[in-house]
Structure 1
């Protein structure tokens, strides 16, 4: 809760001990929710803690239920005390923090002098657990005053959905209003030789290491560790040995099992190892040559963010190097202080890639020509009215903005592909009158749907269908020829059949945009391996099936765009699976470009500002959090034009870029 208050309530928590009596609670003053305050807000005064006599458990419970009802739309009488706030009521970590904050404000919470106990309120997963926490504090004999001050110039650790790189470019102007977007900046990875800071080799003496895979490399490394007084125990990837509390775990399977991707299968091993508190966690692979290490860099960038005291590193090595050389390089990484979570070893040099601003040049900076925004770019790409562009995951989220830009600039044929089925008829008038999720949940609850999980699924399906319908209407109004295909891209056979049918009908397929994916954010320590696999496979298996379908066509497309995420480029707390999946997408795209010569680029997007009808993955709660922290959101129209310019004017050898509105 302390971290939450710092991150969610735009301030620093100060707790002063008092021995004047039991927990004091009083109605909160009428002030704006602290979570919506911008980063530059002045310090807030200390919260009042005058307590009314006779505050009861019933009052605590009613306050919590009322806040949840207002935030979600579920009627109070439907919110059972033992429902899981996230699993049953779809209250994610950001929204849960806001709920806890508003409850704290309404009750003018005062807590014990040990501020660490505050964490329990936001961690509580049920209403009953929140009420129990309040009851325990009410009966204590030590109280404290919580004050919320303006944040420091450099914020504390980022929340689960906000990345903050170790070496960020200069900050762009950030919006002060929630949801206001600005033009994104273009960043490209540039490698340089960075030896890193060495540590005393004596540090290894007495340490125990588990080494999985690697064949002769692992054997040589075990010998080198022995020469430094350390123990190197050889193991296998799927063993339970990681639970034994080794000082270091070294995953070298990416050097030997080149036909078997490490992810998602390696995640449970890494998760178990991290739970024991090791000092080192290293993995190695021949990145770029095969798909064995796809996603590992993105995963390790996130591990480094969630475990800042750990030396966590993925090492990309030259597969042609001898086992002895590779073993010495890995030993050297163990003796290099924690810095970059991803390095490459080639010859005698150690390379680290940093993201740096790189402009596209004069043509891209020239602005709209006489024909309007995007027209010259569409012509440079080779798009015209008879061109055909397929957008997978293109009817919802941020992708429709690019579809709009295509339709407006070229009038080309657009084939949208998504999992959401189209509605079979007009929407029910009562449901149609419910314009947001909370209102829709309320209508569905009044209609007798008794299960919050069923209500949530139904509401989500209605909202998704609305967005798809709106996208088709928008594109049609712009003069584009548009069709929608309901298909799960994880079905490789169905994807291949659809691509073949589109190509057979038009005799061409000019461009493909792949934006499929799901998010199920959790910190690594709390992550269900099945959820990690689901998030990873949805994006990665879908991409592989898409490329197999393209390979089967008579001709290749002009361009292929993968929509990635800035989480892959920087790592992001709570998004180990999503960062890994988008990083894997990057590697897959790079290999496809090298194999086919097709213009291929993976764009790792920063967060986009929500647009009317197309909110993307930035919820209202997350948008407020970004605004509070001064993190800029990409203007949707500017983001779409940025992609057109990337395809038109960028160096085709650049297969991976980052577009972000902030200096992350």
Structure 2
């Protein structure tokens, strides 16, 4: 950029805010005020600040041996610093709002025939970026994923071309000489749904009666719905995991499962606690009922627009999904699982439609990346972007309000029956990442 006459300011991670040279600063990545100060200083010297390129996430690769604490640090490096940066930009009172580029390195699963995604820890930044685009369109937030196998010079050249380009694509990934852009593609499962509506059905899915199945978030509305469906399909040994003991309504549901012939083990454990999860897996092993399937359906919400969010509210939402999924991945990767299903959300596919869910979208963005990451390892992995579900979980009692909000955006609620119908189709297929939501245009499952 300097070679073509542009003025560039470099900002490095350090212990505190400090100008170390002309056009060079250090700031503490954990101090939001440092971001505000450096933006104020740079904008003061250059009122026509054109853009900000966030590159701190490019080093956040992930080895298979990474622990959850390191993963948490990488999440903070990516999403935490991006949160502080966005807040500094929108609160700075700048006369001209600069563009924002979020740069990752191997965080997207492209190309389809040979995906490369060693930077799965950075995939949450892409989920967050979807919401930034909705809440702050003035930033023109563009996500760029560089080729992790490219040389440093090659990465720099590709990044410069994207920044210098007037192209309007806001989700771009480079692999070798190939430039990939994001598009929603209609799922072939829509045809199967139509066939079932006409009475034509495929071979029904069934579960193994001698094996165990683990459902995290298993005592939530969606978890219990899935548990009941699995029992109806032949599952006899379920482990329902949650942080709290079951209440009376949940106990009643569990009793119904047992009366239907299932053995149900309730595990009160925190999926973010590795030692607790090791204990859960050890007890399953000792039961002599091998674990052959995992469904990760935990959900924690702490909504708020980006301007008002804190890293604490991000951690509260992200840890159960991100660290929890990583624990499940690490603890089961040597076991021959039939499936490893991650319950993601439409937020990491489309954004939050004004609901203030950047933290939730970031958390689900990681799940989407993890499903692809596991597939590259030859392991099962499926991430499902669920839309809002009626009559269960957080939508209960708010269906009318939620439906009205979704309708404005050409979408609708999914019924519990549609959830199970879609889940069976997807678990019977080979897809890695699919969105399931009633939508007005010719996209996705349902219409």
TM-score w.r.t. structure 2 length? Answer: 0.78
Distance 2:341 2:319 in 1: 18
Distance 1:467 1:205 in 2: 67
Matched, 1:416 2:240: yes
Q: What does residue 325 of structure 1 align with?
A: 154
Q: Which runs of 5+ in 1 are unaligned?
A: 1-200, 214-230, 423-464
Q: Which runs of 5+ in 2 are unaligned?
A: 14-21, 44-48, 63-72, 108-116, 442-447
SS in 2 for 1:314: strand
Q: What does residue 471 of structure 1 align with?
A: 253
CA contact (8 A) 1:295 1:580 kept: yes
Q: What does residue 402 of structure 2 align with?
A: 623
Q: What does residue 99 of structure 2 align with?
A: 280
Q: What does residue 607 of structure 1 align with?
A: 388
Q: What does residue 250 of structure 1 align with?
A: 53
After TM superposition, list the pairs within 5 Å mapping 1:590-605 onto structure 2: 590-595=372-377, 597-605=378-386
SS in 1 for 2:59: coil
CA drift at 1:243:
4.6
SS in 1 for 2:363: helix
CA contact (8 A) 1:210 1:233 kept: yes
SS in 1 for 2:126: helix
CA drift at 1:549:
2.3
Q: What does residue 646 of structure 1 align with?
A: 426
CA drift at 1:467:
4.2
After TM superposition, list the pairs within 5 Å mapping 1:390-469 onto structure 2: 390-422=214-246, 465-469=247-251
Match of 2:358 among 561, 573, 576: 576
Match of 1:297 among 120, 126, 138: 126
Distance 1:621 1:280 in 2: 37
SS in 1 for 2:435: strand
Distance 2:243 2:369 in 1: 25
Residues 488 and 415 of structure 1: is their aligned pair in 2 closer, same or farther, counting only changes over 3 Å?
Answer: same
Structure 1 or 2, whichever has the larger Rg, is 1
Residues 30-70 of structure 1 deviation map (CA, whole Å, 9 limit, x = unaligned): xxxxxxxxxxxxxxxxxxxxxxxxxxxxxxxxxxxxxxxxx
Q: What does residue 87 of structure 2 align with?
A: 271
After TM superposition, list the pairs within 5 Å mapping 1:197-596 onto structure 2: 209-210=9-10, 212=12, 233=24, 235=26, 238=29, 239-240=34-35, 241-244=38-41, 245=43, 246-258=49-61, 261=74, 262-266=77-81, 267-276=83-92, 277=94, 278-286=97-105, 287=107, 288-337=117-166, 339-360=168-189, 367=196, 376-379=203-206, 383-422=207-246, 465-551=247-333, 555-572=335-352, 573=354, 574-595=356-377
SS in 1 for 2:182: strand
Residues 385-408 of structure 1 deviation map (CA, whole Å, 9 limit, x = unaligned): 223211000221222222121111
SS in 1 for 2:388: coil
CA drift at 1:279:
1.5
How many residues align structurally? 391
Distance 1:331 1:351 in 2: 16
SS in 2 for 1:609: coil
Residues 401 and 337 of structure 1: is their aligned pair in 2 closer, same or farther, counting only changes over 3 Å?
Answer: farther
CA contact (8 A) 1:487 1:495 kept: yes
CA drift at 1:211:
5.1
CA drift at 1:295:
0.4
CA drift at 1:631:
2.8
Residues 427-475 of structure 1 deviation map (CA, whole Å, 9 limit, x = unaligned): xxxxxxxxxxxxxxxxxxxxxxxxxxxxxxxxxxxxxx24422431342
SS in 2 for 1:483: strand
Residues 94-136 of structure 1 deviation map (CA, whole Å, 9 limit, x = unaligned): xxxxxxxxxxxxxxxxxxxxxxxxxxxxxxxxxxxxxxxxxxx
CA drift at 1:365:
6.0
Residues 369-423 of structure 1 deviation map (CA, whole Å, 9 limit, x = unaligned): 99x999x4323xxx2322321100022122222212111121432111111213x
CA drift at 1:264:
3.9
Q: What does residue 634 of structure 1 align with?
A: 414
CA drift at 1:258:
3.0
SS in 2 for 1:604: strand
Residues 563-601 of structure 1 deviation map (CA, whole Å, 9 limit, x = unaligned): 000000112231111101100111122212322x23210
Residues 337 and 412 of structure 1: is their aligned pair in 2 closer, same or farther, counting only changes over 3 Å?
Answer: farther
Provide runs of 4+ in structure 1 moved above 4 Å.
Answer: 204-213, 231-237, 361-366, 614-618
SS in 1 for 2:138: coil
Q: What does residue 17 of structure 2 align with?
A: none
SS in 1 for 2:390: coil
CA contact (8 A) 1:565 1:582 kept: yes
CA contact (8 A) 1:523 1:575 kept: yes
